[in-house]
Structure 1
Amino acid sequence: MSTADAVFGALRPLVDGIAATFGRSCEVVLHDYRDPERSVAAVAGSVTGREVGDAMSEIGLRVLAAGAEARNDVGYLTRAQDGRLLKCTTLPLHDVDGTLIGALCINIDVSAINRATGVLSDLLGLSVVAETPVPTTDFSGELDQVLESLIERAERTNAVPASALGRHQRLELVRSLNDAGVFALRGAPARVAKRLGISRTGLYNDLATVKKDSEQP
């Protein structure tokens, strides 16, 4: 048995226990990054609707791209695509040699608490501080859908289809996809190039430009 298998074997029993401790508003997901397109190795709770065998979300892509440098991200806020506010914690898992092998993720639906806070503030006559914008995360379980969500955001921002983006706009999209960790996935360049209506060579040229720009002081 490999060290990674031992880590996942030890953590699987904890998934149900953690979810049960926090109740029905909590979901715990154990990811095995050795198979990114089927990374969900165990899940308890149904906050995001993930199932065993589903792919990682865009949050997982960023962790995967960070590799050995990935660190704990505790208590950050995001929104599910249906608008629910989630408080999340992502704990990267490393092998004995420091290699990133997966992540343990805890997602808590705090929408009801958020609504209750608003109601209580109204009843008590307290002013409500303007809510800081929270990013939306695609938890669809399909990497193609996660990639599509990232590209659709760029289309909405620029008000044109991805295939009609100008070079500057396309470079910005490629940069955002690279920052999101998309290109750490096997086969991602071909998928992205097809979606953008360019050749893989063209995409690799864009990636080279983006990386060169990021290295400049």
Structure 2
Amino acid sequence: MTQRTPEQRLLLEQLKQTAEGIARTFAPFCEVVVHDLLDPSHAVLAIHNNLSGREVGSPATELGLARIQSADVEQIIANYANSFSDGRQVKSTSIGIKDSGGRYIAALCMNIDLSVFQGFQGMLNQFVDLPGAAPAQETLDPMGADAIRARIDQFAASMATTPRALKAEDRRVLVRELKSAGLLEVRRAMEIVAGHLGVSRASVYGYAK
């Protein structure tokens, strides 16, 4: 770990305050992470609205390592496609922070979970749909994994939160709704629900009772 100068310590402390302010504003949809690039093996200095499952002390990402190696890496990389480890789609923005010597010492990263907004989009599409405007269509798998995830997203969106931020009682209500709709009869349904909610399959079985 590189010894920090007073200037670098001040920048990191101010960045932590900035991250917390942004996180409070955009909770719970936006994960905000402060990366300390002076300590790449334990780069995550702070994480708010944790959506990725990382912890303080987690190592630097590929982008962080690239900034450590070269100050020529673009300072603001905005709105790029990303994903969490469980496959959820993410829109990310990363802002590199340099000291007075032009060296990258930190990064402020924002990761927006798109699943809840996709749920909003699905509800809007359903609302503006005009019955009879198109010929009836049929599918051999009308209630697959995508249908389960969409139903979960819609439920979370109705509560202005994300699937993984649902409280235990809300998850119980959701799973029972899925059961009533027949969605738990889908192959690997429990695994799909558990993965999208970020809980164990045992928990999902418990909610369904």
Q: Which has the higher helix share?
A: 1
**Counterpart in the other structure of 1:91:** 95
Gap runs ≥5 in structure 2: 131-209
Identify the structure with bigger relative contact order (alpha carbons < 8 Å, sequence gap 6+): 1
Candidates 66, 73, 85, aligned match of 1:69: 73
Candidates 54, 57, 68, aligned match of 2:58: 54
Distance 1:71 1:125, change over 3 A: same
Deviations 1:147-201 (A, max 9, x none): xxxxxxxxxxxxxxxxxxxxxxxxxxxxxxxxxxxxxxxxxxxxxxxxxxxxxxx
**Counterpart in the other structure of 2:110:** 106
**Does residue 14 of the first structure (1) align with residue 21 of the second (2)?**
no
Gap runs ≥5 in structure 1: 127-217
**Does residue 41 of the first structure (1) align with residue 41 of the second (2)?**
no
Let me know the Cα RMSD of the aligned residues.
Answer: 2.0
SS in 1 for 2:100: coil
Question: Which TM-score applies when normalising by structure 1?
Answer: 0.53
Conserved 8 A contact 1:19-1:26:
yes
Q: Compute the displacement of 1:38 (Å).
A: 0.5
Conserved 8 A contact 2:75-2:97:
no
Please give the alpha-carbon distance, in whole angstroms, between the structure 2 residues aligned to 1:66 and 1:124: 49
Candidates 105, 115, 121, aligned match of 1:117: 121
Letter in 1 for 2:68: L
Candidates 30, 34, 59, aligned match of 1:30: 34
Distance 1:78 1:69, change over 3 A: closer
Q: Compute the displacement of 1:122 (Å).
A: 4.9
SS in 1 for 2:71: helix
Conserved 8 A contact 1:31-1:56:
yes
**Counterpart in the other structure of 2:169:** none
Please give the alpha-carbon distance, in whole angstroms, between the structure 2 residues aligned to 1:14 and 1:65: 25
